[in-house]
Amino acid sequence: MRNPPKLSNDCFALPPGVHWTPVDEALASLRARVSVVTGIETVLTTAAGGRVLAADVVAKRNSPPYANSAVDGYGFAFASLGRGEHTLPLAQGRAAAGGPFDGVVPVGKALRILTGAMVPAGIDTIVLEEDVVIEDGVLKFAMGLKKGANVRPKGEDVAVGGDTLSAGCILRPQDLGLLAAVGVDSVQVYKQLRVAVLSTGDELRQIGEDIAPHQIYDANRPMLLELIRRWGMEPVDLGHVRDDAVMVKQMLTQGAREADVILTSGGASAGDEDHISAALQASGSLNLWRIAIKPGRPLALAMWDGVPVFGLPGNPVAAFVTALIFARPTLLELSGAGWTEPRGMDLPAAFSKNKKPGRREYLRAKMNASGHAEAFKSEGSGRISGLSWAEGLVELQDEGRQIAEGDLVRYYPFSEFGL
């Protein structure tokens, strides 16, 4: 199938004169600039979990496909009932799921019927077995039952030809169950977005390698690769590259060949060793978005050989937060799933803070046993342990605010970021 058009080379350009961009403006700008970049393929429903629907799906079969019993009990024609206590003789046989009754139940008789069984001709009402007494082959039960009781009509859930799931839906286990129930054996989905992850910096080493006192292990790449997996995309590990302009360009070129998007961490600012920024600047497409956010701030956005590049901060806490806030909704839009924003909740604060005006702040946080938002003991962006401790983020808006314990704050659990 035909692939969608690529993004334009200047899609990330901001208006001249912009210095510090508020978070909401940055998100709105990103949303306006990106679109689906992956093609479409057809896959079996059984293999479609986590994939993004590329077309609406309609039911090929009714659900349920036939009128069936909601309970274990006895079925009959409602017209058989008179006033007062009801008594009906039992017909021979029974109806069970996978073992339908072959025949017509005459008016004035009842038939044993089990949960899920196709309702035989002549039956329109079912009484629960716990509500009856059987004596000498005669069914007895009290009045009060309504016509149609305990019968699931054909197509009650979904009618054949009816809409089931819409394009952009990320298929969950329950969605696959629905598709199977209505007879859909294959679906059109977007090809998985391939997201390459590249770490930069002479100071970095990989786990298992010898390390000098002035070096650190690369925390960002395993973290970002796992984020990509959790978001249902295909991670492409570009590894680690030293602070060498030629090598950085080579890795960006490799990433553009192997992936639809490139995520880098480190080297995205304007220092002497910020070779990511330098390479992207040489390509003529670099845009440094200075975002009024803590932790974070610099976000390098560019195109390299027709592929969008997101230059995340090198600090692991800042890289994680900016990946959740900016990269995730953008990647979902690029993948066909559509722009998705997290849903927060207001919780009483279990902390106090004097929040200065001018930028959006995100605190590592969790909801404690009392239902209050507890913040990590330190706001230091070098405290990566706080990411592991946290179960979500507290968002503090751009304006200044004096927060006392018990004041409401906006809390976003990590589940709202696909984690």
CATH of domain 68-152: 2.170.190.11
Residues in the chain: 419
List Cβ neighbours of 247 (8 Å cut-off, separation of 6 or more).
241
Contacts of 195 (CB under 8 A, 6+ apart): 228, 233, 234, 235, 236, 259, 260, 261, 262, 263, 331
Assigned token pair, 192: 């998985």
User: Do the strands 293-294 and 360-367 form a parallel or antiparallel pair, or are they unpaired?
Assistant: parallel
CATH of 43-62+159-190, one of 3.30.360.10, 3.90.105.10, 3.20.20.80, 3.90.550.10: 3.90.105.10
CATH superfamily of this structure's domain 345-417: MoeA, C-terminal, domain IV (2.40.340.10)
Residue whose pair of structure tokens reads 């978005």 in the numeric block: 289
pLDDT tens, per residue, the chain with 419 residues: 556 767 766 666 665 555 788 899 889 989 988 899 999 999 999 999 999 999 999 999 999 999 999 999 999 999 999 888 899 999 999 999 999 999 999 999 999 999 999 999 999 999 999 999 999 999 999 988 999 999 999 999 999 998 899 999 999 999 999 999 999 999 999 999 999 999 887 776 677 777 778 877 778 899 999 999 999 999 999 988 877 778 888 888 999 999 999 998 875 554 444 567 777 777 666 777 888 899 877 788 888 888 999 888 888 999 999 999 999 999 999 999 999 999 999 999 999 999 999 899 999 999 999 999 999 988 877 788 999 999 999 999 999 999 999 999 999 999 999 99
- The continuous run of DSSP H or E covering 393 comes out as strand 392-396
Give the gyration radius of the chain's Cα atoms.
30
Q: Could you please report the per-residue DSSP string of 268-327?
A: -SSSTT-HHHHHHHHTT--EEEEB-EES--EEEEEEETTEEEEEE-SSHHHHHHHIIIII
Residue 382 has a pLDDT of 77
Rounded distance between C-alpha atoms, residue 187 and residue 180, angstroms: 11
Instruction: Give the number of other CB atoms < 10 A from CB of residue 393.
Output: 28
Residues 80/109, Cβ–Cβ less than 8 Å: yes
Rounded to whole angstroms, the Cα distance separating 263 from 274 reads: 15
- Domain residue limits, the chain: 23-39+192-335, 43-62+159-190, 68-152, 345-417
Q: Where are the alpha helices (DSSP H) in 152-310?
A: 173-181, 220-230, 245-258, 275-282
DSSP 376: P
Nearest to 220 by CA among 248, 245, 242, 198: 198
> What's at 289, amino acid-wise?
W
| pTM score | 0.86
3-state DSSP assignment of residue 29:
helix
- 113 by Cβ neighbours in 10 Å (0-12 / 13-18 / 19+) ranks as buried
Quick one: pLDDT at residue 161? 93
- Cα 86 to the center of its chain, rounded Å: 53
Angle (CA) 158-159-163 rounded to 5° is 70
State the Cα–Cα distance between residues 84 and 98, nearest whole angstrom. Answer: 35
CA 14 to chain centre: 29
Cα–Cα dist 419/415, whole Å? 5
Architecture per CATH, domain 23-39+192-335, reads as 3-Layer(aba) Sandwich (3.40)
pLDDT of 271 reads 46
Whether 323 and 282 have beta carbons less than 8 Å apart is answered as no
Q: Which two tokens stand for residue 34?
A: 């990106």
